[in-house]
Every structure is written in structure tokens, then in C-alpha cells.
Amino acid sequence: MILLKSRQEIEQMRAASTIVAQILDEVASRVRPGVTTAELDALAEELTLEKGARPAFKGYTVAGRVYPASICISINDEVVHGVPTTKAVLRAGDIVGLDFGVCYRGYFGDAARTVPVGRVAPEAERLMEVTAAALHAGIEAVRPGAHVGDISAAIQDAVEAAGFSVVREFVGHGIGRNLHEDPQVPNYRTGARGVRLQEGLVLAIEPMVNAGGPEVYVKEDGWTAATRDGRLSAHFEHSVAVTGNGPYILTLP
């Protein structure tokens, strides 16, 4: 079931999404060698509560498994859903995916970005640039009358033209009064056009891109997805509303 949002609801979602973007900025600014992912999680949670919002991921349950933290932090070969821990200490040369969402006054915002820890290898730099560019190529496909499949194709083409691969197991999604709503937004062609985009649809578009092959596995913690081949992965996400004028990116600070 597709739930369309009024202009007023989209402004409420913009408020939730602004909080997400501001907190991601703050967390990203604290990324440096020696910091643990548990420290970054505590910061994200504290800032969320300060703003009168609620962390969207904490307590989120998939197949009986409860996500235990406020933010997902995925390092290097980790793709998504990395669980913060005092054992994960950031080191210079790492790349770190920060995926964060809040619920504010009944509406959700969801965004992600991947940032370097100090100086990183040229391939890591290029992977982050290509993934961010793929997200923006997907966003540029957003307009009334286009289809979800146009977003998927634009992302896949941007990634594969750079020689990288798109993760299949995780996809973007509708967002609103729920963190995950219909439709799914794959980052690759599925053979279907997908639903037609219309004003009031709000989508979380979130390519996950691997430097090597697309295959992933889930680690023993039951959450953290990582690349099969151990090579790097990057993740960028924005919550985006479809308007008559095209895409309205909600998760900008």
C-alpha cells in the first residue's frame, strides 16, 4: 500500500529529516582514529533526545531480532547494519558508513553517508565518490510520471560504469509515519518498471556499493552485513519527496 503525503506532512518529514542530517554532521565531525563506534552511538542518541526526537533504529525488530543501538556504523568491508561496540576502534585509513534515522512528531527521517578516517587509499576515495554520485543520479530520476525502476537503473548504471557492483540484498524504501513503507527501491534493474512516482511519495534512496563482487553475508551478531570477498563497501542515503518540481531532498542540514 502506497501512502502519499500532503505538503504539510512533507514539511513535518523535513523537520524530522533535518534532525537526522544535523546529527549525522555532528557524528561525522567526531570520526577520527581512536574513537569507538559505541562512543559515536552514545553521541547520536544523546543529540536525538536533546532535540525531542527518538532514535528510529533502536528496538527495530526484524524476524524477532531487536536492533540494539541508535545508529548503524559499518566499517570498511561492512556494508550496512553495523552494530556499534566498544571493541570497534576507528583507525586512519578506514571508511565508515554512518546510517541514522529518527522519529520526530510522528514522522521518520532516514539518511546515510560514508566518511573517511584520516587519509584513505585512492580506491576507497573513489568508491565513496561513485556511491554518492550514484545516489544523486537516482535522485535526479525522481519526477512525477517516472517509475521506481528509473531510479534503480540510474543508480546501477552509475555504479557499474565505474567498475563497482551493487548490493542486491538490501534496498531503499518508502518512508513516512513508518520507517519502512512501500514501495521498495532496488538499486539495480529488476525487470519491472516499478510503481509510478507521483507527488507526495517520499522515498529513502540508499545505494550500497561494493568495490569487488556484490555478494554479502551477515556476521555472527545477526545484523552486520559484510562483503563476501572482504573488499570495501560504501553506503549513501537520502529521504526524498516527489514534488511537482522534481525531487525535494529532505535530509539536508
Residues in the site for Co ion, rule: CB under 5 A? 110, 204
Q: How far apart are CA 128 and CA 190, in angstroms?
A: 24
Q: What is the dihedral of CA 233, 238, 244, 245, to 10 degrees?
A: -80
Q: How far is the CB of 93 from ligand MF3 (least distance, A)?
A: 25
Q: In this structure, what DSSP letter does residue 106 have?
A: T
When the beta carbons of 14 and 81 are compared against ligand MF3, the nearer one is 81
* Residue 114 · residue 96 · CB < 8 Å: yes
Contact pattern for ligand MF3 over residues 169 through 208, marking x by CB under 6 A: ----x------------------------------x-x--
Smaller CB separation from Co ion, 77 or 99: 99
Residue 156, burial from CB neighbour count under 10 angstroms (0-12, 13-18, 19+): buried
Rounded CA gap, 136 and 120, in Å?
A: 23
What is the C-alpha R_g of the chain? 17
Q: At what angle do helices 37-50 and 7-29 cross, to 10 degrees?
A: 140
Binding residues for ligand MF3, how many (CB under 6 A)?
Answer: 12
Using the rule CB under 6 A, which residue among 9, 45, 78, 99 binds ligand MF3?
99
Residue 94 contact partner, candidates ligand MF3, Co ion, none, CB within 5 to 8 A by sort of partner? none
Span 57-76, contacts to ligand MF3 by CB under 6 A: 57, 60, 67, 72
Is 35 or 101 the residue whose CB approaches Co ion more closely? 101
Phi-psi bin for 200: left (phi > 0), alpha (psi -120 to 50), beta? left
Q: Which is nearer to ligand MF3, 66 or 121 (CB)?
A: 66
The single residue among 9, 41, 110, 181 that binds ligand MF3, judged by CB under 6 A, is 110
Q: Which is nearer to ligand MF3, 92 or 218 (CB)?
A: 218
The residue behind cell 526524498 is 240
Q: Does 41 participate in binding ligand MF3 (rule CB under 6 A)? A: no
Contact residues for ligand MF3, defined by CB under 6 A: 57, 60, 67, 72, 81, 99, 110, 112, 173, 204, 206, 237
